[in-house]
Amino acid sequence: MIDKDELLIHYFQGTLSEKDKVVFDELIAKDPEFKAQFTFEKNLQVAIKNSERNKLKQKLKTLEEVIEHKTQTQKPSNKSWFTPMRIAASVAILIAASWFFYTNNVANNPEQLFANNYEMYPNTVYAITRGNSAENTLEQKAFTAYEANDLPTATRLFQELQEKSGLDYIDFYLAQTYLAQGEILKSVALFEKILEEKTDFKTEALWYAALGNIKTGQETKAILQLEALVLDGSYKKKEAENLLKKLK
């Protein structure tokens, strides 16, 4: 008796012998059930390929944003930007962009989900008061830059702090600065590292890791993280539930 399953396995692995090939072709011609199974698996192969391709494409698009951002911040600022023509042009682009978003009804696309839910986490650990400005520690400088939204400086100082201090919340704020500057992959990696550590910002890190993963098309990971957040229930439970509804 011929094992049809084995024949299909050999077909997909490209290991059909000449003899098997003859049997295989005959079955395709004469056995509708076999042919249907073959077509099913062949279609699945195309579908998986496309699914993987979409994920990679999403990843590269995010990467492209990061590259774009980098080249933009490297350019010196140009004050003549604010000429009326330029403003008019930007408004036109803005209108075109919103029209594009509207007509494509992409309210649930990753970009949009991210944009609707993302907000940089506020400084909740270091009190910057005018009184103790004489102190001027590295930590103070870092959080001052963070609050002033001077992200490149904040990143640099947090990186320095990360090396020098044992403070367990530095990773979290460093990851915040990455995320805010569009360095999504880097930030997600760091947020996920925080999940394995004992810190006060674990649930918060879960939320931001999930957002980052949504943006980079890692939906499965994001769903798992959001589910963990709902289970925990102490932070952003409602938002996580809402996002889960849209993702599933």
Partner 1 sequence: MLTNETYCHKMEKQLDQQLFTALKNGSETAFTAVYEDNRALFLNFGRKYGLADEVLLDVYQDAYIAFYENIKNGKLVVLNSKIATYLISIGKFKIMEQLRKNKKNIHHDGLLSIAHETDDEIENFDIVQEDLSKEQKVMQLYFDALGEKCQDILKMFYYKNYTIKQIVKEGGYNSENVAKATKSRCLKSLKDAIKNAPKL
Residue numbers of the site for partner 1 (CB under 8 A)?
5, 9, 12-14, 40-41, 43-53, 56-57, 59-61, 63-64, 67, 185, 189, 220
Angle made by CA atoms 34, 39, 42, in degrees to the nearest 5: 125
Q: Is 219 helix (H, G, I), strand (E, B) or coil?
A: helix
Distance CA 68, CA 66 (A): 5
CB of 188 to partner 1, least distance (A): 10
Nearer to partner 1, 60 or 88 (CB): 60
Nearer to partner 1, 68 or 135 (CB): 68
Closer to partner 1 at the Cβ: 46 or 231? 46
With the CA atoms of 240, 229, 191 and 67 taken in that order, what torsion angle do they form, in degrees rounded to the nearest 10? -20
Rounded alpha-carbon distances, angstroms, from residue 89 to 10, 85, 93, 97: 59, 6, 6, 12
Could you tell me the smallest distance in angstroms from the CB atom of residue 56 to partner 1? 5
Other residues' Cβ atoms within 10 Å of the Cβ of residue 198: 7
Task: Kindly state the smallest distance separating residue 183's Cβ from partner 1, in Å.
Answer: 11
Quote the least distance from Cβ 179 to partner 1, whole Å.
16
How distant, in Å, are the alpha carbons of 60, 80, 176, 195, 225 from that of 38?
33, 64, 49, 44, 37
The one-character DSSP state at 128 is -
> Is the CB of 93 or the CB of 138 nearer to partner 1?
93
Q: In the complex, what is the shortest distance from the CB of residue 46 to partner 1, in angstroms, rounded to a whole number?
A: 5
Taking the C-alpha atoms of residue 37 and residue 8, their distance in angstroms, rounded to an integer, is: 9
Q: Which is nearer to partner 1, 55 or 156 (CB)?
A: 55
**Least distance between partner 1 and beta carbon 95 (Å):** 19
Nearer to partner 1, 144 or 155 (CB): 155
Min CB(36)–partner 1 separation in Å: 10
Residue owning tokens 């925990």: 232
In contact, 247 and 214? CB cutoff 8 Å = yes
Q: Name the token pair of 30.
A: 């004469």
Neighbours of 138 (CB within 10 A): 13
Q: Which is nearer to partner 1, 72 or 80 (CB)?
A: 72
